Structures are given as C-alpha cells and as structure tokens.
Amino acid sequence: MKDEAIIKVENLGKIFRVNQGWAISKQEKKDIVALDAINFKINKGEFVALLGPNGAGKSTLIKILIGVLAYNAGKVEVMGIEPLNNREKIIGRLGIVFGQRSRMWHDLPVSDSFELTKKLYGNSNKEWEEWLIENIGVQDLLGRQVKKLSLGEKMRCELVNTLLYNPDLIFLDEPTIGLDVVSKQRIREALMILHKQGKTILLTSHDTGDIEKLCQRVMVINHGKLAIDLTMEKFMKLNDDMEIRVKLKNKLITLPKIKLEMNLVSDYEVVVTVKRKVLTETMKVIFDNFEVADLDFSAERVEKILMDLYKNEG
C-alpha cells in the first residue's frame, strides 16, 4: 500500500513586492523572494518539524498551506484540495496554533471559548473533549477569563481549543512556549498520543527538545529554499559531537598531552568534545589521565546542527 500524501507542494514560489524609500513620490518597488521552487510531500500520519531562522519563509509556507496567502508559482494540495480557493472545504479539518495569535475570546471564560469553537465546527464528541482537557491539563482553567491566563496557561488552552473538533492535519507554532517542565511534558505526551492515533502534525519550534522527542522528520527552510528534508535519524547524524564536562578533584594547571579535543575551563574543569561512536574509549582515557570528581554530559545536537547550517548557508 502506497503512502497517502496529505500535503503536496511542487515548485512553490512566493514573491513579495515591497516599497523602497521613505518618500512616497520617490518609492520604487522591489521583489523579495520568500519561497523559491519548494518541493515536498507529507504523508498522512507523519510528525514533521519545519525549522529555519527568523525570516526564512516558514510562516509564509504555513499561510499558503492553510489557504490564507496567495502564491506566485507552483502547485499546492492539502488533503487533495487546492487550499487558497477552497479554504471553506478544508478549514474544518485543520487545527492551527499559529504563533501568539489567539483564537479564543479575550474577555470570556475559557469554557465559553470552547463552546463557541464546538458550535462553529460542529463538534459533539464529549469523550474526546474530556480526554483533551485531562491530558493537556486545563481542568482548573475552564472558569477563568482568557485575558487572566499566563502565557503557558493560554498556550495549553489554545491547544485544546484547536483540537476540539478533532482535525486531521495539525499545524503547531511553538506549542510549548512559556511552559514549565511539567506542563511541557504533558503537552508532548498528548502530542505523541495524537500522532499514534494517526494525526498528521507539522511543528515549528525553537525548543530543540520538542523536535528531538516528537518529530520523525525534519525540514529546514533557509533563504526561501528547502535546505534539508531528512528523517530524524539521518538529521541527527549530521553532527555526532557531544561535550563532556570533567570536574576535577585537584587543581590542574596544564592539560596532559593526550589525543583528545579539550579545553581548560578553569583550574578544576575540563571540557572534552567527542564523537559518540568513540565515547567508551574516550571515557577510559579521561579516567586514566584525570582525577575525576564528577562528569556532566551535554548533547545539544539539534541546536548545533541548526547553528552550523544557518551559519554556512548565510
């Protein structure tokens, strides 16, 4: 059985024409290429990270996919439908948490916003609603006004509000922003369950934990081009470095002459950079040459890969 594409994008191009100059009488038009011949497809049930620096074209792409922005070239299909001219046919099947733009009513209690959303989209599945409220943890927020919620509380409620009508395709922009570690984990667990239920999820996030723990595929847009489109496994292999912070029992003045990439941070701390595949051998060398008090492992691999990519592409 072939994979079923829920999103198809072929040679997608988007150009913005902007004014230059401060004097209206002297303004000239300039074309800014936001998306340049983008090609990809996303199959039903995939969990995909859409990454890129600010201004790379991520938001432009999402706006095109949900049918709120026209494009200049190429072809776009979402659930078999061209979204721009048929938005009313797909909007009820899309779940969208887009940046900090709230879909809830600012002055009303959270529960009232939920009721309005259900009426707009025709949801009547009480069991589904209760599952969302419990698993995303908003039981204690239902009677509070939206404007009185903290950023993290509001984001949790936005996620529930977005999912109330059980959409097939979910767009998430920074879903864990402002959340404490417990709330963040609850949302991640709920998203993992949604994915296992067959939901297709497209995630943009600057939280590398979201990306590494949730996504199975990574797409990176930079300067309007699709720079990377890889499975998470292949993406993680782009950089296999990790750091070991070696805290020492005794004061160290100079580094021993051994074949390790290392830096003396202080008299009592050395940072060793190592490839994962030789971690065991490296640990032996460390213990043979240092009086070790403690070890701290750091592996910010997603962040390091993205930093290197943006730097090289820029």
115-168 pLDDT, tens digit per residue, is 988 888 877 688 999 999 988 889 999 999 999 988 788 888 888 998 998 898
For the chain, give the mean pLDDT: 84
Confidence of residue 100 (pLDDT cuts 50, 70, 90): low
Say which amino acid occupies 183: S
Share of the chain above pLDDT 90, in %: 27
Residue 36, φ and ψ in degrees, nearest 5: -130, 100
**Neighbour count for residue 60 (Cβ, 10 Å):** 20
What pLDDT sits at residue 284? 84
Class assignment of domain 5-236? alpha beta
Q: Which residue has the higher pLDDT, 128 or 99?
A: 128
Q: Where in the chain is the domain with CATH 3.30.70?
A: 241-313
Mean pLDDT value of segment 80-103: 84
- 269-284 pLDDT per residue, tens: 888 887 777 778 888 8
Residue with the bigger pLDDT between 75 and 301: it is 75
Instruction: State mean pLDDT over 19-48.
Output: 82
132 closest CA partner among 156, 98, 152, 154: 156
Q: What local confidence, expressed as pLDDT, does residue 23 receive?
A: 55
Taking 70 as the threshold, does the pLDDT of residue 87 lie above it? yes
Whether 55 and 45 have beta carbons less than 8 Å apart is answered as no
Cα atoms found within 13 Å of the Cα of residue 79, Cβ hemisphere only = 20
In this structure, what token pair is assigned to residue 85? Answer: 């001219």
Confidence check: pLDDT of 226 > 50:
yes
Rounded to whole angstroms, the Cα distance separating 58 from 221 reads 7
In the predicted structure, residue 1 carries a pLDDT above the cut 50? no
Task: Tell me: pLDDT of 51 over 80.
Answer: yes
Dist CA 107 CA 113 (whole Å): 10
Question: What is the location of CATH 3.40.50.300 in the chain?
Answer: 5-236
Q: How crowded is residue 262: how many other Cβ atoms within 10 Å of its Cβ?
A: 20
Q: Is the pLDDT of residue 44 over 90?
A: yes
pLDDT at 308 over 50: yes
pLDDT at residue number 9: 95
Q: Does domain 241-313 have CATH number 3.30.70?
A: yes
Using 50, 70 and 90 to split pLDDT, how confident is the model at 75? very high
CB neighbours of residue 221 within 10 Å = 24
Task: Identify the pLDDT of residue 111.
Answer: 94
Residue 109 phi, psi (nearest 5): -60, 155
Helix or strand holding residue 85 (H, E): none
Tokens of 278: 């030789």
Whole-number Å distance between alpha carbons of 271 and 97: 40
Rounded to a whole number of angstroms, the distance between the first and last alpha carbons of the chain is 41
Entry field: residues in the chain: 314
27: pLDDT strictly greater than 80: no
> Can you give the pLDDT at residue 25?
57
Residues 189, 250: Cα–Cα separation, whole Å: 43
Cβ neighbours, 10 Å, residue 24: 7
